[in-house]
Amino acid sequence: MKFNVNLKAGISIEIVFEGENKDNRVLTYAKDKDLFSGKLGEFYSYLPFDGDKQIFVGLGKKEELKEDEVREVFFKLVKVLLTNKEYEAQVEVPSIEHVDKNTFVKALVEGSLHATYRFDKYKTDKKELPEITINILTNKDISEDIKEAEAVIEGIFFARDLVNERAEYLYPETLANIAKSELSPLGVEVDVYDEKQCEELGLKGLLAVGRASERKPRFIVMKYLNNKNNNEVIGLVGKGVTYDTGGYSIKPTANSMDIMHCDMGGAGTVLGTMKLIATRKIKKNVIAVVGACENMVSGNSYKPGDIIPTLSGKTVEVLNTDAEGRITLADSVYYVTNELKVNKVIDLATLTGACLVALGEVYTGAVTNNQEFYNELSQAAKSAGERVWQMPADDSFRKLNKSSVADIKNTGGRLGGTITAGLFIEYFVANNVPWIHLDIAGTAYLSKPEKYLPKGATGIHVKTLYNLLNK
């Protein structure tokens, strides 16, 4: 897709707000016939073969328009253009008091690009998507806004491709190779630790989860240090279980184990974010960590009833081998907060089915130990159009994780499962570092499309993390 600035060419896209009148005969006709009124997401196409072509786009009530609604409308507009085989269009950026033109343009570009995503690499009869050109007319300098929006979508699509990739091709070693090949040229220092090196580091939780697989774990550490004048370092941790059978607490197949290539959704978001911030060269110091492994079944598997050590020295009673992600995250979060001594940390994980029950595929669940830090992330998510819901967290939930034979058990039971899973991770945050846990079990991989997000991988929270880090 191409974007030009102030080039008057292609079909005319007429933005109309609800109740707005314009001196346009086609618009008057459409309104008189009750074919179009300017309601949000409403379209009316006038496409004569030998005259001026116009598509009217409704943006609803002007005073109520939200940035994310612009993304959704232009996502739908590109679909309309493709359906009508119109491949070039021009649109004038409207003046809106509470949505400045630069913000509108970024949302326009993001929404339009979302409509181009495909994961069809394994289809033999795939068809190339025709290139769409959108010419944006405005009195503002928007060239940098277009570049930024394109980079954001590139990061999101990179994350989607990783999460959509099947486990036959994406496993700990290949994920680590991709991290190196994609991020190192952008100035990110990428260190990969193999199984023996993980043993030397003391990553006993990660190794326990991954030991049954012939494809052995990798520990991936990515350092983007681009602000020598500031000592603050933000840590990102992504769950990197590239395939999850559930272990001996085995999953059913349909709509469960068959989609567990997506269980590294947190790692996908983290790698997508690192690619984005490095591409944009933002002035921040960020260290990201992914403990990558497969949770498989063999005679060497870890088992329900086992007590396993972790990097922190704390022990975990295993009651459910399908609650494996939190064990890998225990080592990763402790490593980044204690060994690398980041100042703040965010972990992202497709962690619990309980989050799906509570929040569906619409909201990400959040648990935190620092309200001020969470408020910053919440604002970044709102601007990104990515919905997050903070869960309660107190000692009444923490005590559900207590074990009678180890320091902590890896499941607090069915009740409050999203919260107790998050608080399990909190137990391994060193030095009381401000921490946010994002449970993306419902939002990282969708069973059906939602707004401009496709079925399958979404790349959720690449934009949120970028907004937070770039403020």
Q: Is 395 annotated as a binding residue?
A: no
* Two tokens, residue 205: 């939780």
User: Given the DSSP bridges, would you call strands 456-457 and 445-446 parallel, antiparallel or unpaired?
Assistant: antiparallel
* Two tokens, residue 133: 């050109």
Kindly report, residue by residue over 351-362, the tens digit of the pLDDT.
999 999 999 999
Phi–psi pair at 469, nearest 5 degrees: -75, -25
- Cα 33 from Cα 209, distance rounded (Å): 64
Give strand pairing partners of 349: 439
Angle at 468 between CA 467 and CA 470, to 5 degrees: 65
CB atoms near residue 96 (< 10 Å): 17
Orientation angle between helical segments 101-114 and 143-164, nearest 10 degrees: 30
Angle at 425 between CA 400 and CA 232, to 5 degrees: 145
- Cα 377 from Cα 372, distance rounded (Å): 9
From residue 15, alpha-carbon distances to 12, 30, 38, 114, 164 in Å are: 10, 14, 8, 20, 35
461 closest CA partner among 389, 391, 384: 384
Q: Within the chain, which residues score under 50 in pLDDT?
A: none
Check 140, 251, 280, 451 and give the catalytic one.
251
Q: Is 251 a catalytic residue?
A: yes
Check 275, 326, 409, 463 and give the catalytic one.
326
Q: Is 88 annotated as a binding residue?
A: no
Q: What is the pLDDT of residue 127?
A: 87
Q: Is 324 annotated as a binding residue?
A: yes
Q: Is 263 annotated as a binding residue?
A: yes
Domains in the chain, please, with CATH?
2-137 (3.40.220.10), 165-470 (3.40.630.10)
Q: Is 148 annotated as a binding residue?
A: no
In 198-275 the beta strands, taken as DSSP E runs, fall at 218-225, 234-244
Q: What is the pLDDT of residue 361?
A: 98
End-to-end CA distance of the chain: 28
Burial 129-138 (b: 16+ CB within 10 A, else e): eeebbbbbeb
User: Given the DSSP bridges, would you call strands 364-368 and 435-439 parallel, antiparallel or unpaired?
Assistant: antiparallel
Burial 416-450 (b: 16+ CB within 10 A, else e): bbbbbbbbbbbbbbbeebbbbbbbbbbbbbbeeee
This prediction has a pTM of 0.97
Per the listing, tokens 């008091």 go with: 97
In 173-280 the beta strands, taken as DSSP E runs, fall at 189-193, 218-225, 234-244
Phi–psi pair at 329, nearest 5 degrees: -70, -30
For the chain, the C-alpha Rg in angstroms (whole number) is: 24
Kindly report, residue by residue over 89-98, the tens digit of the pLDDT.
999 999 999 9
Q: Is 471 a catalytic residue?
A: no
- Cα 307 from Cα 69, distance rounded (Å): 49
